[in-house]
């Protein structure tokens, strides 16, 4: 079959939807990709005319393009100034997309560098191997995504991913070859299994994995020097008799864990770390379970 830039309903009516998974997305027009992306949105009328036909993607709101006219930013859910990275002038402050429905992120145009879909109650899964290979920032805070999120297959370009308050589950791999990754927010999900902090990405600055179902023990002796902001692991089932805080852990702006789940907390010299010392130095925070 041949894809064209006519309205999606006329294209999709001629093909088996199951065949789309085998299509080289690089060959699909942006119009087709974007219509597939929002096909199951409850609020996709924002991208249609009065007759229910999709507008030309050039007229869709919440998008930014590069100098060659290719889509680089999809921003349909920024709320309350919570945008983590400012990649230019504010686009469409007044645009609010009605949420709910299902989204398949594999249809993001391959030129997409940043995707922001906060607070939209969207459902779906995230097949990390199918994300645009130049993607830098993925922000899907406060939605209803389910299934795994396999960090091993994220694009090498990724700098941050924000997954807070979804229903993602399964193991969470921290020992990954992602040289540009600086921020992870995956708190308030259903991730489980153990956590390995001994081989973190070399540029990582902050990690929030609080309020999941992680278990086992942790090693905080070999954190990279780049980790200067925070490491949050409270609200999990991690426990051990002795937790040793390495030099980097002691200097963190914020270190949050459940005090009651550790027999004692010491530095690398074996000195006890006391709650009063923590408050005085403001180096980290110990949370009560």
Taking only the tens place, the pLDDT of each residue in 108-118 is: 999 999 999 99
**Contact yes or no for 82/43 (Cβ under 8 A):** no
pLDDT value at position 92?
55
* CATH number where 208 lies: 3.80.10
pLDDT value at position 20?
58
- How many angstroms separate the CA atoms of 255 and 278, rounded? 10
The secondary structure of residue 69, as a DSSP letter, is S
Whether 3 is in a domain gets the answer: no
Whether 275 is in a domain gets the answer: yes
| Distance from the first to the final alpha carbon of the chain | 58
- Nearest residue to 178 via CA among 138, 120, 235, 219: 138
- Nearest residue to 72 via CA among 139, 135, 148: 135
Whether 12 is in a domain gets the answer: no
| HSE-up (13 A, CA, CB side) for residue 202 | 4
What residues are paired with 240 via a beta bridge? Answer: 262
Q: How many domains does the chain have?
A: 1
**12 burial type by CB count under 10 A (0-12 exposed, 13-18 middle, 19+ buried):** middle
- How many angstroms separate the CA atoms of 82 and 73, rounded? 16
Task: Enumerate residues 6+ apart whose C-beta is below 8 A from 280.
Answer: none
- How would DSSP label each residue in 131-165? S-TT--EEE--SSEEEE---GGGS-TT--EEE--S
Residue 243 structural domain: 40-45+72-287
Q: List average pLDDT for each run of 10 residues in the chain, which is 289 residues long.
A: 42 50 79 96 92 96 95 81 46 67 96 96 97 98 98 98 98 98 98 98 98 98 96 97 94 90 93 62 43
Whether 54 is in a domain gets the answer: no
**Is 215 in a helix, a strand, or coil?**
strand
pLDDT value at position 86?
46
- How many angstroms separate the CA atoms of 157 and 155, rounded? 5
Whether 35 is in a domain gets the answer: no
């Amino acid at each position: 079959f041949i894809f064209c830039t006519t309205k999606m309903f006329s294209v999709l009516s001629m093909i088996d939807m199951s065949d789309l998974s085998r299509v080289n997305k690089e060959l699909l027009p942006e119009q087709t990709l974007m219509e597939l992306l929002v096909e199951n949105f409850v609020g996709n009328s924002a991208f249609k005319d009065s007759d229910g036909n999709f507008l030309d993607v050039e007229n869709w709101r919440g998008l930014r393009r590069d100098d060659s006219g290719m889509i680089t930013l999809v921003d349909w859910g920024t709320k309350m100034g919570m945008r983590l990275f400012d990649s230019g002038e504010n686009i469409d402050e007044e645009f609010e997309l009605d949420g709910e429905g299902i989204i398949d992120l594999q249809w993001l145009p391959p030129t997409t560098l940043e995707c922001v879909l906060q607070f939209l109650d969207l459902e779906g899964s995230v097949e990390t191997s199918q994300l645009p290979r130049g993607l830098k920032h993925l922000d899907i805070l406060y939605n209803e995504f389910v299934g795994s999120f396999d960090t091993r297959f994220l694009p090498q370009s990724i700098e941050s991913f924000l997954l807070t308050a979804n229903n993602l589950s399964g193991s969470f791999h921290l020992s990954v070859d992602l040289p540009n990754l600086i921020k992870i927010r995956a708190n308030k999900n259903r991730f489980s299994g153990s956590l390995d902090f001994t081989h973190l990405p070399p540029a990582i600055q902050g990690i929030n994995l609080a309020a999941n179902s992680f278990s086992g023990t942790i090693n905080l002796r070999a954190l990279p020097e780049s980790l200067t902001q925070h490491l949050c692991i409270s609200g999990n089932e991690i426990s051990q008799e002795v937790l040793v805080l390495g030099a980097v852990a002691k200097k963190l702006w914020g270190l949050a864990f459940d005090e009651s789940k550790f027999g004692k907390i010491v530095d690398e010299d074996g000195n006890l770390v006391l709650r009063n010392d923590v408050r005085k130095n403001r180096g980290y925070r110990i949370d009560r379970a």
